[in-house]
Structure 1
Amino acid sequence: MALNALKKSASPAPKPTNDSIASASDGNKLGGRYRDLIVSLGIFVLMLIGLLGYTVWTSVQIRHNTAVMSATSNVTNNVQQVIKDLFDMQISYGEDINSPHSITVLDRLAVQSKQIDNDLAALKNGGRVAVDSDETVEIPAVSDPKLLQYLNETESQWQQLAPKLNAYLEVAKDITKDSETPLSLAGEQAKLSTLAINDSLDALTSEAFHINERQHRTTNFVRAVAVVITVIYFFGFITYFIRRLRRSDEQALLAQKETTEIMQNVNTGLFLLDKDMNIGNQYSAELGNIMGKGTHIAGEQFIKLLKNKVSDKDLETTEGFVKQLYNPRVKEKLVDDLNPLKKVMLNSDDAMTGSRYLDFKFSRVYHGKNIEKILVNVQDVTQQVRLEQRLEHERAQNDLQIEMLTTILNVSPAIINDFISNTKQNIIKINDILKTSGNSQAELEEKLVRMYRSMHSLKGEASALKLHSFTTIAQNFEDKLKGLQAQGKLSGNDFLPLTIHLDELLNLSNTIEALGRRINQNVPASTLQAIQVQPLADVQTPEATVHSTVAPVITPVMNATAPVLGLNEFYEQFADNIAVRQNKQVQLKATGFNETNLPHQLESSLKEIIIQLIRNAVVHGIESPETRLQHGKPAVGNINLSLLDLAESYKLTIEDDGAGINYEAIRQKAIEMGFKTEDVATWSKQKLTALLFKSGFSTKSSADEDAGRGVGMDIIKDNIQALQGHLGVDTKEGLSTRFTIKIPKNPTAE
């Protein structure tokens, strides 16, 4: 169940599932947690900004009050200086008006009078005032009622003194005018206004100072309270989120524990792959058992982990396959068919365990709509694969038995026994050839030729009987021989692999022999009752019950009549089989074989000759149906095969109405084999015909089950010579070819 949950979480879904809803819920929780954190930090920042703003505001107010106090101090000092200068001018009245003393005092009176006007206007209406000799500040209009009251009193007294002072200054520097009276009036007014101005300015300054003090105290109090609140909030904020982090850590630890428990108990290997094909740090415990104990897995490159365990081609394909999984435009179901690691054989360095089979499955892991990782699920399917191989082997064995049984039921026992006998003789012959030592390249090449002939003869008989398993092994054997011939330099060790095919052929011949004995035991050759089919029982494995798809075991039961083929029908059917494989239409008519009682050895040799002649007639003689129709012939080619029992000999004749012998094709093949062109051009038809029987010679460009090896005609020649027979060839180009063979009944002793 845990594995299924992991697979579900690793697969994208077109509609919301429980996993996607849970993921969305987790996302909402995560967003809520961060939202709370952001709000809390925002409040904290706002508190700091408020405290800072209040501090700046109070600092500005205190600076303004300080400026007010500086302005009132300036007014007080200037008023005192004005009164002093007026008294000074009264005492020095009559002094030269242009004296330095008089000019300095009069200029100072004018400046101070103007400065008093400016400072009083700034205090009342707002403006710039001097706080020291080099600095001026902008102050707002006085708004405090008490300060405004004292300011008005000061301004009222100054308005009484200022006009009289200005009147004096207007005539003070003019000697033609009377300045004593205005000076006297201004002096008298100064005496009257001085005390009132000083009292109001002192009260104004004192009140401004008290206001400043109150603002200082208030500011300090507010700062202290704000700092306390901020500290309390900060520690509360820290405590709250530490608790939340602890809960989150506990949940994460719980989730990690559950994940670990899953990874420890799933029976498959699970891990994640990133885009660089690196394995994640988390993986199931079973993966270590699958890949081999002691294997470093976490953070390892997947390709490096499989290096030398699977083929380089599979590794290269796997790398491209994983890249396609990360391509969002490629559908996962389509690319899964390209998975090169399905039931792949894993080579092991441990000789005890041997090779194993692993099945890798790849699934995309999505984060939103993005492919984040690839989840890999690997299983050891060694038992399953070996079971499938065993079942496949049993299926092949049963198919083989059916094939053999079909042949046994349709062919006379004499033909089967003859085939078995010839097969074993050929196997013994080839085995003796293999045992024969060869010291030179010529001797080794001669061994190949001799084995080629024996195997080709065996293949011909097997093909005639439709024993495809025999034919396949024989053809593989011939392919190996052909490869050795093309190899050039040979050694004795090159022949060793051939023994495997001989063992297979021997096992097959023993099998068909045993089947023949079971069927024909104590029963006439032509009687069989029926064939009962018994299916194999289901095979039990630790994982599951595997239902066999192997073909059923055949158990023959006797006492029924079934048709069997004699040699006439045997050859006719053989010709039909070759024609089907060659896409031709052929009708062979055989006579004289069922009626003639030949010695066993002679019958066996003649059969070998006839099989090669039928092959030659169908493959090389009879044209394709299209070609025959183009030349005005019927689509079906005719072959007549006959055996006559003469007084002193047996006469074997095979004649076809095909294209005849193509002498130009023989000349061209001779040139390709290395004969000189000018020599070949002078050869007679008889010499060209003789070339057909040379070992390795064939006008067919490619080899198949029926021809192309250049051995068939060579076998015919050798068998005729062994029987002391005579071969005649008669051909008409485009019309026919006839082979006539005479075998003496009583050959002379050598």
Structure 2
Amino acid sequence: MATTSNVDNKRYRGLIISIALFLSLIGALLAFTFYTSSLLERNTVLIDQTNQVANSAQAVIKDLFDLDSSYGEDTSSPHIQRVLSRLEENTALISESIVAIEQGGTVTKELDGQTYKLPKVSGSAQESVQAANEQWQLLEPRIQSYLKDADNVTVDSSDELFQAVEQAKTSSLLMNESLEDLTNEVFLDAERQANTIRLIQVLGVAAIFAYFLIFVFFFVRRLRETDAEALAARRETQEIMQTVNTGLFLLDKDLNIGQQHSRALNDIIGEDRLAGENFTNVLRGRISDKDLVTTQQFIDQLYNPRVKEKLVDSLNPLNKVMLHGATRGGDSSSRFLDFKFSRVYEDKDIARILVNVNDVSDAVYLEQRLEKERSQNDMQIEMLTTILNVNPKIINEFIDNTQKHIEKMNNILKNPGSSQYELEAKLKAIYREMHSLKGEASALKLHSFTKIASDAEDKLHALQNQGQLSGNDFLQLAVHLDDLLNLSNTIATLGERINRSAPMSAKPATTQTSAGLDESIVKSRVSKAVVTEGVPSNSLVDNMNIDSEADDDRLSFYQAFAKDIAARQGKQVQLKSDTLTQMAIPAQLEKPIKEISIQLLRNAVVHGIEKPSVRYATGKNAVGTIDLEVQDNGSSIILTVQDDGQGIDYESIRAKLSTSGRFSTEAANQLSQNDLLEQLFSSGFSTKEHADEDGGRGVGLDIIKAQVEEYNGTLNVNSELGQMTRFVITLPKA
């Protein structure tokens, strides 16, 4: 680029010098014109000044004759005073003007008030001025002698007036002749200057015109040669641009696309006209507004010489970006395009940005397909790991509960509901079922289930906050239910395959498991008939003969669940139970006991147990303790969950009710502890600032309340601030 720049400088150096010389000639001619115009103006002022002196001299003589004829009149009369004043002014004016004319001084014109510098006269004009000045020097003292006592009635000034009048008779004629000669000399001199100026201007214009003709002839020929070279270079560039199969174009600082670009760019971008268009206008509507703003900032950084190109390239927002409607004709199809940006330098300055764009849709789609298959494989492995490491009875319970939750949510969705009250009740019911399902999946470390349920909860939470609901708002949940059902089918199918391979020896069992996994990947979508029939109640339990271990595994299940939540929350917990492994829970209460236990354990870890640093500061053991006990009093099953955490802060609940807008500050202050507990169990209310996988949506306690009501049970809460919280759930057997 540096060589090309030097060549261009040499090529245009002659043109620049010629233009500079041409402008210099014009400037010199204009300067000369301005100067001569100033001379003419000064001569004109000189002529005006000489005429003014002659007119003033005539006025002086006239006033002297007037005073002489009026002698004896009262000197204080208006007539005498006016003539004396005029005589004094004209006398002073003549004295000043003659000196200025003779010495080339400055004068002020009465018409415009501007001051002018008079040219200094010489030769015969100087002699005429001196002659006029000599006569004025004879007349002016006599006038001043008369004016000295002219208006004093006690002094006789007739002699002075007589002498002034007599001298004026002699001097006036000589002064007029001298000033007339001066005027003629100045006029002739001005006329000579005007002729000279006119001649020089004509010659100057002729020279400039001749130089212009030579300049045009010479440089037109040079431009033709340059145009021919540029045309040849442009033809070569066009041949390259029409041949390459990638999109190439240049961007300036204003993000305007250059006039030259590869022909493939039109097909890649999907526009017929791109040259000269603004890059942001081409992208607007095809990528998100956020990406568009980021692109503008990214290109600005490319033009920043202090930023390294490799560093800023890593921030490229158009790396494999989806461009909507990126086909010729503006249809709705989209492509993945990859934009590469490179700086183009001139010497050491960044002149342009070279953009290379490629259609990488096939590669991206292949990556997406591979990623999807990888995710499915990971999901299959995750489910298989859960099946192999969790008691089969718990897996069966999860599959059975999942189907029930999905079926219940599906029935709720089918329920029409028209009023806002019905729609809100419908929303709360679905929210409870989804949260319960997510809790069980999270406890089993089935992250695929948890992710789908969490996404569904996000949509439910948005619906809960939007205010006005309609039936169509619930349609988006059908996709999540279908995904959950497919995952449930998959885990059920994997369980059946492992069950079929159980009687085999260790080595064949391993082989069969691998084969089963591969087959399940191929048949990732299992028919609903398999799930509807369900896994036989004894298929995983009876065939593997592990009924005796179910209760112990249930305790381990709850302990692992509590520790997982604690790890995510940055806490440490220990779950204890003396009765869970010894207690036979009636079949009809196993599901509610499990769901309530999961929600209470989550609530204890998230809201009850403090972080180790907080517990240590308050004198507690860094590891929090949770007790989970199940008792049978004959007619009911009593579930007790107690933690040694921070207890229920009723004032915090009161403040959250006020700040969330549920209650005014005054109304919140009037609530009793029972009222505050009732709000704590209401749907959508949580004291947690930010929602995450483990809490903060205000659904967990709502689920417990709904389960207790459904099974005609009772709920008792006891808490001591800073010490403990205890939930006691009583569910009747009948």
Report the TM range for the smaller structure's normalisation.
0.5 to 0.7
Contact kept in structure 2, 1:698 and 1:710, CA below 8 Å: yes
1:333-482 equivalences under 5 Å are 333-348=310-325, 354-482=333-461
For 2:726 and 2:256, locate their aligned partners in 1 and report how far apart those are by CA, in whole Å: 74
1:711 paired to 2:711? no
2:266 to 264, 283, 288: 288
Distance 1:274 1:742, change over 3 A: closer
For 2:505 and 2:330, locate their aligned partners in 1 and report how far apart those are by CA, in whole Å: 54
Amino acid aligned to 1:299:
G
2:615 to 619, 628, 649: 628
Distance 1:523 1:275, change over 3 A: same
Contact kept in structure 2, 1:720 and 1:726, CA below 8 Å: yes
- Deviation string for 1:403-457 (max 9, x for gaps)? 2222212111111121122112111211221221222111111111111111111
Amino acid aligned to 1:495:
F
- Deviation string for 1:237-272 (max 9, x for gaps)? 99xx999998x9887666555433322221201122
2:598 to 611, 627, 640: 611
For 1:487 and 1:430, locate their aligned partners in 2 and report how far apart those are by CA, in whole Å: 21
SS of the residue 1:729 aligns to: strand
SS of the residue 1:703 aligns to: coil
1:588-599 equivalences under 5 Å are 588-599=575-586
SS of the residue 1:521 aligns to: helix
SS of the residue 1:437 aligns to: coil
Query: Which residue does 1:265 correspond to in 2?
Result: 243
Distance 1:654 1:274, change over 3 A: closer
1:702 to 663, 671, 690: 690
Query: Cα offset for 1:642?
Result: 2.4
Query: Which residue does 2:308 correspond to in 1?
Result: 331
For 2:467 and 2:332, locate their aligned partners in 1 and report how far apart those are by CA, in whole Å: 40
For 1:480 and 1:343, locate their aligned partners in 2 and report how far apart those are by CA, in whole Å: 29
1:25-424 equivalences under 5 Å are 255-292=233-270, 295-348=272-325, 354-424=333-403
Amino acid aligned to 1:374:
I
Query: Which residue does 2:729 correspond to in 1?
Result: 741
- Deviation string for 1:593-649 (max 9, x for gaps)? 445444444211110011111122222332322232233221112122122355444
| TM-score, reference length from structure 2 | 0.60
- Deviation string for 1:359-393 (max 9, x for gaps)? 12222223333433332211111111222222222
Distance 1:29 1:596, change over 3 A: closer
Query: Which residue does 1:504 correspond to in 2?
Result: 483
SS of the residue 1:566 aligns to: helix
Distance 1:324 1:690, change over 3 A: closer
SS of the residue 2:577 aligns to: strand
Contact kept in structure 2, 1:412 and 1:525, CA below 8 Å: no
Distance 1:264 1:603, change over 3 A: same
Query: Cα offset for 1:576?
Result: 0.8
Distance 1:339 1:492, change over 3 A: same
Contact kept in structure 2, 1:529 and 1:560, CA below 8 Å: no
Distance 1:606 1:269, change over 3 A: same
Distance 1:428 1:351, change over 3 A: farther
Unaligned runs of 5+ in 2: 18-213, 519-542
Distance 1:520 1:316, change over 3 A: same
For 2:718 and 2:504, locate their aligned partners in 1 and report how far apart those are by CA, in whole Å: 40
Distance 1:534 1:508, change over 3 A: closer
Unaligned runs of 5+ in 1: 1-8, 10-19, 39-233, 537-558
Contact kept in structure 1, 2:580 and 2:628, CA below 8 Å: no
Amino acid aligned to 1:278:
N
Amino acid aligned to 2:375:
A
Structure showing greater Rg: 1
SS of the residue 1:490 aligns to: coil
Contact kept in structure 2, 1:343 and 1:381, CA below 8 Å: yes
SS of the residue 2:645 aligns to: coil
Contact kept in structure 2, 1:588 and 1:638, CA below 8 Å: yes
1:577 paired to 2:564? yes
For 1:525 and 1:463, locate their aligned partners in 2 and report how far apart those are by CA, in whole Å: 32
Query: Cα offset for 1:497?
Result: 1.6
Distance 1:301 1:244, change over 3 A: closer
For 1:471 and 1:656, locate their aligned partners in 2 and report how far apart those are by CA, in whole Å: 25
2:463 to 468, 484, 495: 484
Contact kept in structure 1, 2:270 and 2:330, CA below 8 Å: no
Amino acid aligned to 2:486:
N
Amino acid aligned to 1:321:
F
Query: Cα offset for 1:676?
Result: 7.5
Query: Cα offset for 1:572?
Result: 0.9
- Deviation string for 1:541-568 (max 9, x for gaps)? xxxxxxxxxxxxxxxxxx9999997111
Contact kept in structure 1, 2:322 and 2:334, CA below 8 Å: yes
SS of the residue 1:605 aligns to: helix
Distance 1:351 1:423, change over 3 A: farther
| TM-score, reference length from structure 1 | 0.59
Contact kept in structure 2, 1:413 and 1:525, CA below 8 Å: no
- Deviation string for 1:335-359 (max 9, x for gaps)? 3234332222211176867111111
SS of the residue 1:481 aligns to: helix
Distance 1:590 1:407, change over 3 A: farther
Query: Which residue does 2:627 correspond to in 1?
Result: 640
For 1:586 and 1:494, locate their aligned partners in 2 and report how far apart those are by CA, in whole Å: 40
For 2:707 and 2:287, locate their aligned partners in 1 and report how far apart those are by CA, in whole Å: 51
Distance 1:301 1:726, change over 3 A: closer
Query: Cα offset for 1:666?
Result: 4.1
Query: Cα offset for 1:471?
Result: 1.8
Contact kept in structure 2, 1:639 and 1:655, CA below 8 Å: yes
1:652 paired to 2:631? no
Query: Which residue does 1:729 correspond to in 2?
Result: 717
Query: Cα offset for 1:467?
Result: 1.5
SS of the residue 2:629 aligns to: strand
Query: Cα offset for 1:692?
Result: 3.8
1:521 paired to 2:500? yes
Query: Cα offset for 1:500?
Result: 2.0
Instruction: Report the count of equivalent residues.
Output: 503
SS of the residue 1:580 aligns to: helix
- Percent of aligned pairs with the same residue? 56
Distance 1:449 1:368, change over 3 A: same
Query: Cα offset for 1:657?
Result: 2.4
SS of the residue 2:374 aligns to: helix
Amino acid aligned to 1:741:
I
Query: Cα offset for 1:535?
Result: 13
- Deviation string for 1:31-66 (max 9, x for gaps)? 69999xx9xxxxxxxxxxxxxxxxxxxxxxxxxxxx
1:693 to 681, 684, 697: 681
For 2:236 and 2:582, locate their aligned partners in 1 and report how far apart those are by CA, in whole Å: 87
CA RMSD, Structure 1 to Structure 2 (Å): 4.2
SS of the residue 1:362 aligns to: strand
